Structure 1
Amino acid sequence: MLMVWFLLIGGLVQCLLLLRLLRTGRRLDRESRQQAPWRRRWPSAALIVPAAGEHPMMEAALRSLLLQDYPGLMPVFVTATAEEPAARLIGALRKEFPALRHVVAGRAEGCGQKNHNSLAGVAAAGDAVELLLFCDSTHLARPDFARHLAAPVAEGRSDFSTGYHTVRPRDASLVTLAYAFCVQLMRYLQGLTPSFTQPWGGAMCMRRAVFEHMGLRRFWQENVVDDCSLAGLLAGLGKPVVLSPGALLYTEAEHHSFRVWRAWMDRQVLFLKFCVPLQWLLLGLLPLVMMLPPLAMLWAVVGMALGAVPVWTGLIGLCLAAWLLLLLHGWRCQVCAPGSLWRWLAAFVLSAGVFAEVYLRTIPAGGILWHGIWYRVGRGGRVLEVRRQ
């Protein structure tokens, strides 16, 4: 009887959660297709883009950021060294876009390299700009992305705004689909309720005056990451972050590597552990909510077929399983995932299983590996030691 009640309650909770998130996603997609507002005067702004590595989409992504229609936008691209591949790519782009500024930040010692690069970009932008826009270097942007991202701050609705990204899966491999599902889940959670909205370093905007007033320069100089650390700080100060659905970036994914996907998931969980520990603890419930109800549904249906459980128990499990498949089909349609519904279901199961394994491994972790650099991290995301591998 206990299993029956678990099946009923757990399955209902899971399906209702997926339904609520699906409705949130559809609303976000509708709002993301709206035109960005036009203003008589836009605040002066700098677009700061830390770049590293050799991502195959980096050139297309950087080019899309250089084609923004925000009036007078100052593009500032930052690399750690002048010799790395990203720096050579930026040098080539400067011949086509002379307004582009390339800043060489040098190696970080007491903070994350991305933080160090971002701060070098802020310094290069100067005191004249009113808004600071931060963006990742590997996602494609529409021409009105910057206006969408800056609008909530320019209109005075908040001092901080954020966007997010969505994955376009280009093949039906399980890892590609699982990666798309994970990003989709995180995006929908961002838009579920304002209390869930957090700044995302891949697309965030803030007032320059607030950046200085809050002492974010010194704060980031000691921290491992920009967005999660800022989320913890803003939550403590009671400062809201406004989500701009139109500030949506696009990630192309094809034959995605399991190692890369797992390392990405590991960082997402660890950033929360060190910077927003309460949310990290709550996050531990997610794999249980995702994994256990489907197992209970399977137990009920198989048990009914074998005569081991009452027929009505099996029928409940069958109805909940059908509802779950219908909801997953809706999620699949939202990202136009290739392949069959059964592969999408397998990707859902794979996501839950890998996430549970990753979460358990983060419990004893004392640091983060990111772009070949090991950061030993303390409370609040403060960097205690940096080791380059």
Structure 2
Amino acid sequence: MPVIAALLAGALLATLGLQLLLTLAFAVVVRRRLRRLPGLAQPAPAAEVVLCLRGADPSLADALMALAGQTYPGPWRLLVVVDSRQDPAWPMAQQTIARLEAAGQAGWQAARLTPLAARPAQGSLKSASLRQAFGELDAATELVALVDADAVVAPGWLAALAAGCGPDGVGAVSGNRWYAPEQGSGPGLVRAIWNGGALVLMTLLGIPWGGSLAVRRQLIEPSGWRELLATSLCEDTALSAPLARCGWRYQFRPELIALDRDDGIALRPLRRWISRQLLTARLHHSAWPLVALHGLGSALLVLVALLSLLAALLVGRLAEAGLLLAALIGYELGCVALLLLIEAVAARALQPLGGRLPPPNLAHAWRLLRWLPLTQWVYGLATLRAALARRVEWRGVHYRVRGRGVEWLEG
């Protein structure tokens, strides 16, 4: 028992040390890229923003207003693909676009609303919508930007995407999300804590985020990305490999991190949401084994250490119990410190486009500490669920997982 306690304590400290190295590497990447912000080419490339909709998100009108307010210096168009004309998103998007254009508040040259032509037998609705959109792009479009319906982007968002794609060899860029739940609810903090760790891994492993992504139009077909979407669950995770095969690279741009203050999520749908995010890595990215090891390994280590602590208390081995308790407390406090460091890095990255985070304080650190153990448990279970998943539900549609892709079941 003393040997086991010492090994577990050492494993906790070693795991914390590894997480520290990953966090420091993330901080270095962000600092270097913020110091070398690319300039926008002149003249700015003709751009087209693609927005895929299923269901009327509460933030849809705000998202469209934010797109209309872009300060992009070049010509750009908006292409909205809706699941169907009967979808509640159709009249909302149609009315909002018409109102913005009538008021002279729309920065786009033209906006087009089109329904998804056919439901796919394979691949997700989102992927099918994008494949259709890529076939309907304006002839002059040089840069294609993707955005989510729940993303209320800053006025300089499209210009920052275009600038990021400007350097030689860069074929696509994306930002990521940072959750700062407005009311600080428990599930909201669990999502924020998980996403902080995910931001580090996605940056270091080169996993794109489709909620704020741009790709050179000339690469969509030659890279095989559009063909890959025919069976894919999501559009973003699989992008890096096709780009690399045709000699281009994806790059994360920290100034494109999007601030999300949404607090309206419950724990059960949050577990499913995290599991689906992880499933996309399993299906579409070569780094899935590392992601799975991170999620399952850290959760299992904490669980085994906690069970060993209880066992030591039950048999009266107070020295071993004290060692494990000290190691667990040190590990959790260390994780909170790393989260605060990640948050400081994210706060700096938000500044170029006008985003702001409140300064950290002891109350915030205490809230993170309170909800961290639950986050670790949810992360471990979500990783296990993603590893074993044979079905997945996304926006009311059920898909069967088949090899590296998905096929339609019902919905």
Scaled to the shorter chain, the TM-score interval is: 0.7 to 0.9
Counterpart of 1:285, as a letter, is L
Matched, 1:91 2:94: yes
Q: Which residue of 2 aligns with 1:252?
A: 261
Instruction: Calculate percent identity across the aligned residue pairs.
Output: 22
CA-CA distance at 1:146 after TM superposition: 1.2
Deviations 1:209-261 (A, max 9, x none): 11122243333223332112334544666742111111222222224222331
> SS in structure 2 opposite 1:213?
coil
Indicate how the Cα distance of structure 1 residues 59 and 19 shifts in structure 2: closer, same or farther if over 3 A, else same: farther
Distance in 2 of aligned mates of 1:177 and 1:225? 25
Q: Which residue of 2 aligns with 1:362?
A: 386
> SS in structure 2 opposite 1:159?
strand
Deviations 1:337-373 (A, max 9, x none): 8954333123221121112112222333223211111
Matched, 1:100 2:102: no
CA contact (8 A) 1:131 1:205 kept: yes
Q: Which residue of 1 aligns with 2:354?
A: none
CA-CA distance at 1:59 after TM superposition: 1.7
Matched, 1:200 2:209: yes
Unaligned stretches of 5+ in structure 2? 102-109, 348-356
Distance in 2 of aligned mates of 1:234 and 1:380? 18
Indicate how the Cα distance of structure 1 residues 104 and 255 shifts in structure 2: closer, same or farther if over 3 A, else same: closer
CA-CA distance at 1:285 after TM superposition: 1.7
Of 366, 375, 389, which aligns to 2:399? 375
Q: Which residue of 2 aligns with 1:308?
A: 318
Counterpart of 2:97, as a letter, is R
Matched, 1:283 2:291: yes
Distance in 2 of aligned mates of 1:301 and 1:225? 42
Q: Which residue of 2 aligns with 1:264?
A: 273
Q: Which residue of 1 aligns with 2:23?
A: 21
Distance in 1 of aligned mates of 2:31 and 2:88? 35
Indicate how the Cα distance of structure 1 residues 259 and 30 shifts in structure 2: closer, same or farther if over 3 A, else same: farther
Distance in 2 of aligned mates of 1:27 and 1:184? 15
Indicate how the Cα distance of structure 1 residues 109 and 310 shifts in structure 2: closer, same or farther if over 3 A, else same: closer
Q: Which aligned pairs between 1:34-183 and structure 2 lie closer than 5 A?
A: 37-70=39-72, 71-98=74-101, 99-110=110-121, 111-183=123-195
Indicate how the Cα distance of structure 1 residues 360 and 326 shifts in structure 2: closer, same or farther if over 3 A, else same: closer
Of 268, 272, 282, which aligns to 1:273? 282
Counterpart of 1:279, as a letter, is A
Aligned residues: 383
CA-CA distance at 1:47 after TM superposition: 0.7
CA-CA distance at 1:145 after TM superposition: 1.1
Counterpart of 2:157, as a letter, is F
RMSD across aligned positions (CA): 3.3
Distance in 2 of aligned mates of 1:38 and 1:230? 23
Unaligned stretches of 5+ in structure 1? none
Indicate how the Cα distance of structure 1 residues 29 and 351 shifts in structure 2: closer, same or farther if over 3 A, else same: farther
Deviations 1:245-290 (A, max 9, x none): 11222222224222331221121122222223x4333222223443
CA-CA distance at 1:46 after TM superposition: 0.5
TM-score by length of 2: 0.81
Distance in 1 of aligned mates of 2:35 and 2:149? 22
Distance in 1 of aligned mates of 2:387 and 2:273? 17
Q: Which residue of 2 aligns with 1:4?
A: 6
Indicate how the Cα distance of structure 1 residues 76 and 370 shifts in structure 2: closer, same or farther if over 3 A, else same: same
CA contact (8 A) 2:174 2:209 kept: yes
> SS in structure 1 opposite 2:382?
helix
CA contact (8 A) 2:206 2:250 kept: yes
